[in-house]
Amino acid sequence: MKRVLKWLGIVLGGLIVVIGIFILVVFLLANSKVNKSYTIEAAVTVPDDQISIERGRHLVETIGLCVECHGDDLAGDLLSDDPVFGTIAPRNLTSGQGGIGATFTDADYVRAIRHGVGKDGKALLIMPSNYYNRLSDVDLGAIIAYLKTIPAVDNELPESSLALAGKIFTLVDGSIIPASVIDHEAPRPADPVPGATEEYGEYLAVVCSACHGKTLSGGPLPGGDPDGGPAPIAPNIPPGGPIGDWTKEEFFATIRTGVTPYGKTLDTENMPWPGFAQLSDDELSAIWLYLTSLEAREFEK
């Protein structure tokens, strides 16, 4: 009996040591991912004419979704302040107190928006730069041109940082540290020609794939539910999915009013349609043309 207990003790003790080493390794891996420094050569021409600035405003408020996280006045917001996951505070983008506007150079903006890398060389958390990376040079220049004109608003916010669970999640969910999944050396896409064309629709629909999945065939939202519940589901939107039998008019009405042909009101928390509602007829037509050019797929395929 004594011998059995002794062996049991050795096995259990060994198991605890192995689990302890495993947790330590996971923690060290996650920490090195979070603290990694990036050196990025960033350059883009930033215009200062009124048409470009207006184009920048349009992108920031519609497909850029910047206002969704940084607030309608872009003065920042506190998205999460959770002792388990961490603090996520989209920065104040204005030149008011607590804002970055007064100190950011054009290269700092490019690094942040296109590469997901902060002024200090560390990866930015949560901000979906892996999608903004596909914005053309002209569009990124316009966004920066607009940001440089927004009114100053004072708003001091805490620094964003991950707590233990948040750090561990970075090992399985690339959307927490977008800089870690971006090919920073990838060749720049050609500047698209705006218009009601399938090609332009493909360019605009990159933002839809942030939630509806790479092939737009739906799936759980990245990052899950901030309140800890199951992740909300983004539906399949090419023809094989529920919107397959919609007409173009019904698609327009859904995006512009947030109510589907089946009478369902889309939740603005999860589907940011009020921003997309301001897309022009040409832009929405382009997205529709692109969606209907895709082959039918099963959900999440």
Cα separation of 180 and 110, whole Å?
A: 16
Toward ligand HEC, which CB reaches closer, 168 or 233?
233
Q: Which of 34, 42, 53, 100 binds ligand HEC (CB under 6 A)?
A: 100
Q: Residues 34, 53, 93, 182: which binds ligand HEC (CB under 6 A)?
A: 93
> What is the closest distance, in whole angstroms, from the C-beta atom of residue 292 to ligand HEC in the complex?
12
Contact 114, 64 (CB under 8 A): no
Decide whether 6 or 264 has the Cβ nearer to ligand HEC: 264
**Which segment (2-10, 27-35, 86-94, 163-171) binds ligand HEC by CB under 6 A?**
86-94
For residue 73, report the phi and psi dihedrals to the nearest 5 degrees.
-95, 5
Question: Based on CB atoms, which residue is closest to ligand HEC, 48 or 269?
Answer: 269
Chain centroid offset of residue 279 CA? 19
Query: What's the chain's length in residues?
Result: 301
Answer for which of 31, 95, 197, 260 binds ligand HEC (CB under 6 A) is 260
CA distance 152 to 225: 32
Joined together, the tokens standing for residue 146 give 């607009």
Cα 50 from Cα 200, distance rounded (Å): 23
Interatomic CA distance for residues 34 and 30, integer angstroms: 6
In the complex, the residues that contact ligand HEC under the rule CB under 6 A are 60, 64-66, 68-70, 88, 90-91, 93, 100, 109, 112-113, 118-119, 124-128, 132, 143, 160, 205, 207-208, 210-212, 221, 232, 234-235, 237, 242-243, 254, 260, 264, 266-267, 270-272, 276, 287
